[in-house]
Amino acid sequence: MAENSKNTKLLSVVLLVAGIAGLVIALYLDFTRSSAAFRGPLLVIGAIAALLGLYFYPTVEHHRSIINFIFLFPLLFAFAVTVIIPLVLGIFYSFTDWNGIRLTSFVGFGNYVSMFKDPAFIWSILLTFLFVVFNMVLINIVGFLLALLCTSKMRGVNFFRASYFLPNLIGGIVLGYIWQFVFNNVLIQVTAKWGMVNSVLANTKTAFAAIIVVYVWQYAGYIMLIYVTGLTTVPKDVLEASSIDGADALTTLFRIKIPMIAATITICTFLTLTSAFKQFDVNMALTNGSGSVADFMGSYLTNGTQMIALNIYNTAITKNAYALGQAKAVFFFIVLACVSILQVRISNKKEVEM
């Protein structure tokens, strides 16, 4: 036993020393601007060796803490590098003239001022709010009605449920192109008979309606599933009691089912709210934000159907205005944070009432 522990200790120390040496050499090469190709792998191998050395270190007292550290490290490291550091940097960059690679000066709130002076961005904000309201209402109503349909005693419920949910499986980019085909090549043949020669996507207002239609089509099936789960938790005996008391279907719906799934309604409302805010893929693939607006705040706009997420993307990637795009993104983040705080408040209140 003593021999064994000695060996592990030796192994552990060797691994630790080698790992740390590897890390130091790799970092030294980095800082001296060496271009040796092995410095990358050396860094990774060094880190893994150091962690292994730590793991084999024969200690009863601290073993649990070492395990805790090793278990937390991979995810926390990835999380810090991909979320926390970019978030902090992003907020910082939004106050500078960052061009995606380097920055030369601070501009204070300059980006924020110029973004709110830009009619195209104000249009995107208003359009997004309109989109969110329409979607929240429509998706919840459609999803709820579908859930009622799927919990009614009809034949082939499973097939219907699966087919309503199916659009949700497919990514927004592919869906957007499929629907672009539907609107531009199929629907146009129908509308041409009524005298509408252009596709619905060619007109700003109908194109916006088309985005809503596609989004409801994609999302309602998912919301339906959540409502189905909510509706099945309504106790059978309560429903029986109401039918014995002579309540008709509508009364049961409004007086029993809807109040009893209030929590589900809250979840679905906020789910549709936040996802509609973030809508990007369908917007990009279906219209790419195009559409003309004759006069908005005194200027002619060409981004008639461009919502806020797409506006941020285009500002930064297409127009190369990184700092401005970042400032818009920070604004977007603040709006979403407010919505989320509101959601937590409302859910907590509900829980207290219950």
Site for another protein in 279-308 (CB under 8 A): 280-281, 284-285
Q: Which of 2, 3, 4, 101 binds another protein (CB under 8 A)?
A: 101
For the chain, strand residue ranges (E) read 293-296, 299-301
Binding string, residues 211-250; x marks residues near another protein by CB under 8 A: ------x---xx--xx-xx-------------x-------
Nearer to another protein, 53 or 325 (CB): 325
CA distance 120 to 111: 15
Q: How far is the CB of 298 from another protein (least distance, A)?
A: 28
Query: What one-character-per-residue DSSP string does 4-24 give?
Result: HHHHHHHHHHHHHHHHHHHHH
Residues contacting another protein: total by CB under 8 A = 100
| Residue 274: half-sphere exposure toward Cβ, Cα within 13 Å | 15
Residue list 59-88, contact with another protein (CB under 8 A):
63-64, 67-68, 71-72, 74-76, 78-87
Torsion of the alpha carbons at 204, 206, 208 and 214, rounded to the nearest 10: -150
Residue list 44-63, contact with another protein (CB under 8 A):
44, 63
Strand partners, 296: 299
Q: Is 1 in the site for another protein (CB under 8 A)?
A: no
Torsion of the alpha carbons at 131, 136, 140 and 142, rounded to the nearest 10: -10
Residue list 102-141, contact with another protein (CB under 8 A):
none
Residue span binding another protein (CB under 8 A) among the ranges 2-10, 11-19, 313-321, 346-354? 313-321
CA distance 182 to 179: 5
- Here the tokens at position 295 are 């006069």
Residue with tokens 């429509």: 138
Nearer to another protein, 169 or 297 (CB): 169
Q: Which of 1, 4, 32, 159 binds another protein (CB under 8 A)?
A: 159
